[in-house]
Amino acid sequence: MRFTDKICLVTGGTSGIGQAACLRLGAEGGQVVALGRDKADGAETVRLITKAGGKAVFMACDLAKPKAIEATVKKVLAKFQRVDVLVCDAAMMTFEPLTKLTLDQWDLLMQVNLRSLAQLTQLCLPHMPKGSAIVAISSVHAHQTTANVVPYATSKGGLEAFVRGMSLELDFRHTRINAVAPGAVDTPMLWSNPNVKSGREKIDKATVGQPEELAAAIAFMASGEASFIHGTTLAVDGGRLAQL
């Protein structure tokens, strides 16, 4: 199994793509540390992993709070001494035109979607051994977006720039960093999107991906099988970007 005895830290690990990634990493032998805000959802993630014979713990962490991130990473290191795989999946969206959006809303989204990635990378890197990997979850919105989600699209574009830039600072034989960009995936975030509900963003239900399909891509990018992949974004979107 590709992640036997590896410490796998996953943000957004309580639902959707993040939870699916936790289950996949756990099924492949990883010691999963799932981060999220909801303790009940976190307990369910742990239950699913352990029921399947894997190992997992949940740690509550609000990525909007830098001190909480710092405290959580300290707990992870105190318990496991290292981080082999860091998957940054947690994200939020807003659905207002920019002229109606408060700067506080903008700042909160950037904290959760982008600054937390930088902080987690900064805190974990000194404790990531040879062969470790960072996988940041982007979105096709970094390349093809719709109205009223400008902050989200901006954060994902910034995330991909972060990945490219950090790849120049890292020795890929020690720690690799890459992004995975989902298209439309069957998650609560997709179906709660007002643009999708109104039809402004067209979704062909026949081509909506499943969280497990994204988890497979994330696990590949985090594994030794992707040892020569560094500083890039893998689009996992059912061909959506190919239609541009």
- Taking the C-alpha atoms of residue 51 and residue 183, their distance in angstroms, rounded to an integer, is 30
Q: Which of 58, 152, 162, 220 is catalytic?
A: 152
Pairing verdict, β 85-88 and 132-137: parallel
Q: Write down the domain spans for the chain.
A: 7-237
- Taking the C-alpha atoms of residue 160 and residue 232, their distance in angstroms, rounded to an integer, is 8
Structure tokens at 184: 């439309």
Element spanning 22, H or E: helix 16-27
Tell me the pLDDT of the chain (244 aa) as tens digits.
999 999 999 999 999 999 999 999 999 999 999 999 999 999 999 999 999 999 999 999 999 999 999 999 999 999 999 999 999 999 999 999 999 999 999 999 999 999 999 999 999 999 999 999 999 999 999 999 888 999 999 999 999 999 999 999 999 999 999 999 999 888 877 767 776 777 776 666 767 889 999 999 999 999 999 999 999 999 999 887 766 5
Reply yes or no on whether 152 is catalytic.
yes
Instruction: Provide long-range contacts, Cβ within 8 A and 24+ apart, for 160-167.
Output: 160/233, 162/114, 162/117, 162/118, 162/136, 163/136, 163/138, 163/231, 163/232, 163/233, 164/231, 164/232, 166/121, 166/134, 166/231, 167/230, 167/231, 167/232
CATH topology of domain 7-237: Rossmann fold (3.40.50)
Which of 179, 76, 61 is closest to 128 using CA atoms?
76
CA dihedral 222, 217, 24, 48 (to 10 degrees): 130
Q: What is the DSSP letter of 53?
A: T
pTM score: 0.94
| Tokens 């996988």 -> residue | 135
